[in-house]
């Protein structure tokens, strides 16, 4: 498993670590309207999956805005931001942020995404900051488990992976 700290303290990641070349694990999360969203809902598109502990924090807010800004101009790329924030909080954040191209999804219900991608921080019941790029054939082409939960991901590498994905 990836080694991750949060505010300098080691955390235990639950679930299965995902690596480049893997078939993307299936998951079920909730949209802001409480409808279920699965990996299959975006089949045929390139998915940049941005995982954050909470959209209500500075780094998570910046990460969500950056990927929205960078990826909105990419052809056939859908940006999914996943956290364990309640769908209602995510909806409020989206409205307050003025971002219309962001799809925030909640893994609050059963940590389906977090366990499938190995990003559940057991001690905090939050998701570890990470980025996954899944191509249109559901193949994982980029993975970053951010070593320190309060650090930013490598935006440039993730965007390049999304640009070059088929």
What amino acid positions are annotated as catalytic residues? 60
N- to C-terminal Cα distance for the chain?
Answer: 27
Place of tokens 């940590």: 111
Closest CA to 110 of 25, 28, 38, 16: 28
Could you give the dihedral angle defined by the CA atoms of residues 153, 159, 161 and 166, in that order, rounded to the nearest 10 degrees?
140
Yes or no: say if 162 and 136 are a contact pair by the CB < 8 Å rule. no
Q: Which two tokens stand for residue 110?
A: 């059963």
């Amino acid at each position: 498993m990836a080694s991750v700290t949060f505010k300098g303290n080691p955390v235990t990641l639950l679930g299965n670590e995902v690596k480049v070349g893997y078939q993307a694990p299936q998951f079920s999360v909730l949209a802001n309207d409480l409808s279920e969203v699965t990996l299959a809902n975006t089949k045929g598109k390139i998915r940049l999956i941005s995982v954050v502990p909470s959209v209500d924090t500075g780094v998570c807010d910046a990460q969500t805005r950056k990927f929205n800004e960078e990826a909105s101009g990419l052809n056939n790329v859908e940006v999914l931001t996943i956290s364990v924030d309640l769908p209602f909080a995510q909806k409020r954040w989206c409205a307050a942020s003025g971002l219309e191209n962001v799809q925030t999804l909640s893994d609050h219900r059963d940590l389906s995404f977090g366990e499938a991608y190995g990003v559940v921080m057991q001690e905090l019941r939050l998701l570890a900051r990470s980025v996954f790029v899944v191509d249109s054939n559901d193949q994982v082409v980029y993975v970053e488990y951010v070593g320190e939960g309060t650090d930013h991901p490598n935006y440039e590498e993730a965007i390049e992976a999304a640009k070059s994905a088929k």
